[in-house]
Structure 1
Amino acid sequence: MMNIQNYVQAQSLEEAYQLNQKRNARILGGMLWTKMETGNVGTAIDLCGLGLDTIQETEDQFSIGAMVTLRQIEQHPGLNAYTHGMAARAVQDIVGVQFRNMATVGGSVWGRFGFSDVLTLLLAMDTSVELYKGGIVPLETFAAMPYDRDLLVRVIIRKAPLALSYQAMRMQRTDLPVLNCAVANVNGAYRAVIGARPGKAMVLRDETGLLAGGITEDSARAFGAWAAEQVPTGSNARGSAAYRTHLVNVLVRRGALELGGM
């Protein structure tokens, strides 16, 4: 059980940042995975009063506040129109509606969890994060950075021309994924993002041009086989490394074929 000694509802990002510089401080998101931890938290910092719970859409981008919930992502009409419904597909099996009403985008992205559907989805697009001190950083760069004491303020998705497919294999609905996969054509460039390997999601770009001539049964099969050769996988209670490698092949192929039909 987690023991919180001091709770503060921050009045500004600067206040939250300063409080978070103490090693025993903790930023509160939805408190869904965090509450399962044990130990003492000196100061729990709540960002719910800072207006970070909205999705703002402009002609060029989506700006998603750190306190936006996964349920808001699931139901946002503009985001789902842009992603061809894949934003909703990616999160709809994350535990249940009650969970998604509390789980935050900021917590999901900051955690960089190996099982994250959210990170896999966002890496498939032209996505950046805004850090309070670190500024705007490409999500792929951020995902590889070590944890520090900065604040994640918002996620920014730039509206590049996009075709996107999201695939996941679960042992049962609402369980954590055995493997997840997003295949995208972003501004004419193909990529596949593989998560729940069981490691953190990784991005593969079609640098060999397997899909450059168009998506067919043969090119999709070749892209899936190539991806399976590139992605390191591991074993845990949900599946073996060999099974996950097989799933990389299958899900990337399926994702590519779905793109071909868009």
Structure 2
Amino acid sequence: MFTIQHLIQPDTLEEAYHVLTNDVSNTILGGCAFLRLGSKKIGTAIDLSKLNLNHVKEKDDFIEIGAMTTFREIETNSVLNTHFNRILPQSVSHIIGVQFRNIVTVGASVYSKFGFSDLLTALLALDSEVELYKGGRMPLADFLDRSPEKDILTRVFIKKNERKAAYQSLRNSKSDFPVLNAAVSRLDDQWRIVVGARPLRAQIAKKPRQNCRKEMPTLIASPIQPLWP
């Protein structure tokens, strides 16, 4: 169990960033689902609940997801359930239980670059970007390749296009971390294959098999639900 000396709820991102970078032990709090499994000693814990980062907004060209949005909100949101063959709701729907998904946040999962993250695998299959308070906006794949540094992930952006996608995971038991997860997507004739929980963080396959157009639907599609209509 982690310990906290001080807790603040900043009114602005500038205040949150100032406190975060003031001491190496200061930490942003997400849902704390993974944090509580360790024994970290936190000088000042920073709760972002007052910064209006809990939302899913549909714009003309993209979908915006706030960092404090929970996995349960991803699972049930009507916008995300009508785009990309529901890959994002499906990717988080099997994670432990509803109570757990009610506390885990998008920002914490993405920023921490967890190797077992189901959400990262699904997001990489889409045209996703992240926004950092100081680092600015960048493709998700570029963010995952960056060296760790103190910053605040504020939003995730997903380009709205005709990309079709599907997600699958392999677990030893229903409530366990994935042994392997994978996502595949197609935009026009371009395919993207992502593999995660390997046990390193998810990555896009750089040299997918040339005949994946013919074989991937058979390999990755659910036996119950087709990969796409």
TM-score (norm 2): 0.93
Secondary structure of 1:146's counterpart equals coil
In the alignment, what sits opposite 1:9?
A: 9
Aligned-residue RMSD, C-alpha: 1.9
Amino acid at match of 2:96: V
8 A Cα contact 1:190 1:206, kept in partner: no
8 A Cα contact 1:32 1:102, kept in partner: yes
Name the CA shift for 1:187/1:4 in 2 (closer, same or farther; >3 Å). Answer: farther
How far is 1:69 from its partner? 0.3
- Over residues 200-256 of structure 1, what are the superposed CA-to-partner deviations in whole Å (9 max), with x where a residue is unaligned? 101015666424xxx4xxx31xx6xxxxxxxxxxxxxxxxxxxxxxxxxxx982249
In the alignment, what sits opposite 2:112?
A: 111
User: Which structure has the greater CA radius of gyration?
Assistant: 1
Q: Which has the higher contact order (CA 8 A, sep 6+)?
A: 2
How far is 1:141 from its partner? 0.7
Name the CA shift for 1:118/1:92 in 2 (closer, same or farther; >3 Å). Answer: same
In the alignment, what sits opposite 1:85?
A: 86
Identity of matched residues, %:
40
Name the CA shift for 1:97/1:208 in 2 (closer, same or farther; >3 Å). Answer: closer
How far is 1:83 from its partner? 2.0
- Distance in 1, matches of 2:55 and 2:39, equals 31
- Distance in 1, matches of 2:68 and 2:184, equals 27
In the alignment, what sits opposite 1:31?
A: 32
Query: Which segments of structure 1 move beyond 4 Å, counting only runs of 4 or more?
Result: 205-208
Q: Which runs of 5+ in 1 are unaligned?
A: 224-250
Q: Mapping of 1:63-142 within 5 angstroms?
A: 63-142=64-143
In the alignment, what sits opposite 1:189?
A: 190
Secondary structure of 1:102's counterpart equals coil
Kindly tell me the number of residue pairs found equivalent between the two proteins. Answer: 226
How far is 1:29 from its partner? 0.3
In the alignment, what sits opposite 2:41?
A: 40
- Distance in 2, matches of 1:83 and 1:125, equals 8
- Distance in 2, matches of 1:67 and 1:146, equals 23
